[in-house]
Amino acid sequence: MDEEAAKAIEAAMRIVQQKAQAQPEGATPEPPVVAEAPGEEPAQEPQEAEQPASVEPEREAGVRTGGCGKRRWPGVAGLMACVISVTVLILLVALPLVRPAASVTIIPAQATVTVDAAIQVTGRALPTVTLSQAHTVQATGTGHQDAQAAHGGVTFYNGYTETQTIPAGTLLQSAGGVQMVTDAGAVVPPANPPTQGQATVPAHALETGPAGNIKAYSIYGACCRAYILVENTAAFTGGQQARTFQAVTQGDLDAATNGLKTSLMQSVNAAFEAQLQQGEASAPPDCAIRMASDHRAGEEGAQASVTVTATCAAQAYQAQEAQAQVMQSLTVAAGRQLGDGYVLIGDPRITVTGASANGTMLRLDVKAQATMAYRFGQGQLQAIRSRIAGMDKAEAAAWLARQRGVKAVSIEVSGGASLPQDVSAIRCILLYAE
């Protein structure tokens, strides 16, 4: 018995119980109202014959009139007659509701189809967009520099009338006692009085460290040969102790550049989208990107400022035209991979991976993915209902699970363990999973 019939019976029994509880013991129940058909005369109640006086004591002894209809019954008998009448009425109403019925839920088979395709659509060139963005990144690297000797230059003067040569490695000393060594040989031309011949060569401090950073003219005086004078006309520099310092790394520059590219391309795409007309979409832009930084990788510094500039061109096309061609490619691929009977559910995911223009035509390279599900027609569902009518529930489920296009099945039967013979009492539900 299904839920509706059970509720009807329960409501009727509740009415009877309430009526029984409302009557005191021995009381005469109220006669029920009998509906009369339209146009008929009300039934005339027969006149009761006068009863002899001997009957009155029997009435007083407790026999009371009442009951269902016009006939008079003792109290308990009348109540039983009412119960029987209500029960018959319930059965007449409920029996049609409890006939066997079945609900068959089918989850159709699904599959994901992916295609890579090249399509041709009409294109429209959009105005070029040039945008720049800058970002300052903190340096995360560490550099090390060994101790350095000071470097500079020394000039030799020749007062002799013949050329003189001063070999490389000649040791010199400043007024403060710092020793210097020449890095190259000096060929000093002869003097042409009153002008002396002269030659300048590089030199470095013999010891590393800042002590070699001597001032100009700290070296001055005769040396090396007769008629030869030497002096440093400029200070020596670069002498320092070993040290570790903060430096910019290539990773710092790459991180700043990549972040700027991502942000910049979002701005570029937004700029092109603002130029689109109704129904148009923009192909991926073709961009020339330049990067500039105030520090190179490995250079000393606490931070680096990076600037990225993009100059981009793009094409617009009708989105509906492109989608129609992609849908056709997906349908062909589904038929090839899955066979007939599968249809698209939901919207396909389409990604344009490349674009190239040839005049007014635009070639789009696309990657599309869609979910396809097996489609059961009304004829197929009617054939399924006819085939499983009268089957045991487990047998029907096993048979359905073997059919093409069925991923899973669930059967609910009311009124028995087998499906009804009546095909119209079997309902098929298609449930497409997300």
**Is the separation of the CB atoms in 374 and 341 below 8 Å?**
yes
Residue type for position 214:
I
121-138+246-316 and 147-241 agree in CATH topology: no
Residue type for position 239:
G
The DSSP symbol for 421 reads S
* Cα dihedral value 140, 141, 142, 145, nearest 10: -140
**Is the separation of the CB atoms in 15 and 85 below 8 Å?**
no
Strand pairing partners for 352? 366
Give yes or no for a cis peptide into 194 (omega within 30° of 0). Answer: yes
Q: Count Cβ atoms within 10 A of the Cβ of residue 232 and give its class: 0-12 exposed, 13-18 middle, 19 or more buried.
A: buried
**CATH match for 121-138+246-316 among 2.20.28, 3.30.110, 1.10.101, 1.10.3110:** 3.30.110
The confidence score (pLDDT) of residue 359 equals 85
Write out the E strands in 178-285.
179-182, 186-188, 197-208, 220-222, 228-231, 243-247, 280-282
Class of domain 147-241: mainly beta
Structure tokens at 192: 């042409």
Structure tokens at 216: 């100009």
Q: What is the pLDDT of residues 194-235, one digit of tens each?
A: 999 999 999 999 999 999 999 999 999 998 889 999 999 999
Domain boundaries defined on the chain: 3-98, 121-138+246-316, 147-241
Cα(100)–Cα(416) distance, integer angstroms: 7
In the numeric block, the tokens 């599959």 are attached to 111
Q: Which residues of the chain have pLDDT under 70?
A: 1-99, 434
Strand pairing partners for 312? 129, 287
Global confidence as pTM: 0.54
Count of positions (residues) in the chain = 434
* DSSP reduced 3-state for 217: coil
Specify the pairing of strand 101-108 against strand 426-430: parallel
DSSP state letters, 43-109:
PPPPPPPPPPGGGHHHHHTT-----STTS---HHHHHHHHHHHHHHHHHHHHGGGGS-EEEEEEEE-
The confidence score (pLDDT) of residue 90 equals 54
* CA-closest candidate to residue 348, choices 333, 364, 363: 333
The DSSP symbol for 278 reads T
* CA-closest candidate to residue 317, choices 281, 361, 289: 281
Q: Count Cβ atoms within 10 A of the Cβ of residue 146 and give its class: 0-12 exposed, 13-18 middle, 19 or more buried.
A: exposed
Cα(140)–Cα(170) distance, integer angstroms: 44
The confidence score (pLDDT) of residue 7 equals 59
* CA-closest candidate to residue 9, choices 68, 73, 92, 74: 92
Could you report how far apart the first and last alpha carbons of the chain are, in Å? 35
Element (H, E) at 331: helix 319-338
**Is the separation of the CB atoms in 328 and 346 below 8 Å?**
no
